Amino acid sequence: MVAGNLPQHVGIIMDGNGRWAKRRHKPRAFGHNAGMEAMINIVKRARELEIHYITVYALSTENLKNRPREELDELFNLLRKYFGNHVKELHKNGAKVRVIGDLEPLPADVKQLLEDGEKNSPPNGEFTLTFAINYGGRDEIARAAELLRAEGIEITEDTLSKKLYTNGLPDPDLIIRTGGEVRLSNFLLWQSAYAELYFTPVLFPDFTPAEFDKAVKEFSHRTRRFGGI
């Protein structure tokens, strides 16, 4: 069990699926599939710990631009699978589902499934699972600024925050990146201003609930000063 300060909101950069598959001489899609299973287990664990918000980075704006069509199709198939089945179970268990990112360029049926997943969420769910899909922090901030400009609203931290995809979600307290890279790759740039960062070499399909506990435990020992002394 994890004692001490718990994060309210954890963001996860689920990286390393491709390398995990490669080590097994399997196609990258095999790694993405294993990554989805790992994610399902992490979400269960987060709920046991009474963490209220999990946000997972599933597809970046750069992934959509720079990955081969076949890999993107595999990722869309996984989204079809997840949003076609698991999401209903989440709803039954009182979890809300949210999607952040630009869904316009996605295949129409995938976009529809994602939107239905959000729409059919229980109104008073005490846990929110947010999927960042075709999400980019820069795209999000530029869009928010453009919305304010078009509406003639003054740009302040507060007005801009309210135009972000994440409006209504608390900022992440902890951001975990698996797979060994030490960067944010355009994830929650605005919202992570004061997030604690945790990097692990563990590839995402190997990121078990016990590994998640390690990250949460390390968080509980960090001192957050928010600029104070």
DSSP structure string for 38-96:
HHHHHHHHHHHTT--EEEEEEEEHHHHHHS-HHHHHHHHHHHHHIIIIIHHHHHHTTEE
Nearer to ligand IPE, 126 or 181 (CB): 181
* Residue 185 contact among Mg ion, ligand IPE, none, beta carbon within 5 to 8 Å by kind: ligand IPE
* Residue 17 contact among Mg ion, ligand IPE, none, beta carbon within 5 to 8 Å by kind: ligand IPE
* Residue 51 contact among Mg ion, ligand IPE, none, beta carbon within 5 to 8 Å by kind: none
* DSSP element (H, E) containing 141: helix 137-151
> How far apart are CB 153 and ligand IPE at their closest, in Å?
31
> How far apart are CB 82 and ligand IPE at their closest, in Å?
13
Contact window for Mg ion (CB under 5 A) among 8-16, 22-30, 76-84, 117-125:
8-16
Nearer to Mg ion, 178 or 191 (CB): 178
User: Where do contacts with ligand IPE occur on this chain (CB under 6 A)?
Assistant: 13-19, 57-60, 63, 75, 179, 181, 183, 185
* Residue 19 contact among Mg ion, ligand IPE, none, beta carbon within 5 to 8 Å by kind: ligand IPE
Position of minimal CB gap to ligand IPE: 18
SS3 29: helix
> How far apart are CB 34 and ligand IPE at their closest, in Å?
11
Distance CA 154, CA 148 (A): 7
DSSP β-ladder status, 53-60 and 196-199:
unpaired
> How far apart are CB 189 and ligand IPE at their closest, in Å?
13
Nearer to ligand IPE, 202 or 216 (CB): 202
Q: Provide the 10 A C-beta neighbour count for residue 5.
A: 14
Torsion of CA 81, 18, 37, 194, to 10 degrees: -100
Identify residue 58 by its one-letter amino acid code.
A
Strand order across the beta sheet in which 53-60 lies? 95-100, 127-135, 53-60, 9-13, 174-177, 196-199
> How far apart are CB 61 and ligand IPE at their closest, in Å?
10
Spell out, one character per residue from 14 to 33, where the chain touches Mg ion: x when CB under 5 A holds, - when not: -x------------------
Catalytic positions are: 15, 63
SS3 for 154-207 is CCCHHHHHHCCCCCCCCCCCEEEECCCCCCCCCCCCCCCCCCEEEECCCCHHHC
Binding status of residue 140 toward Mg ion by CB under 5 A = no
Binding interface with Mg ion (CB under 5 A) = 15
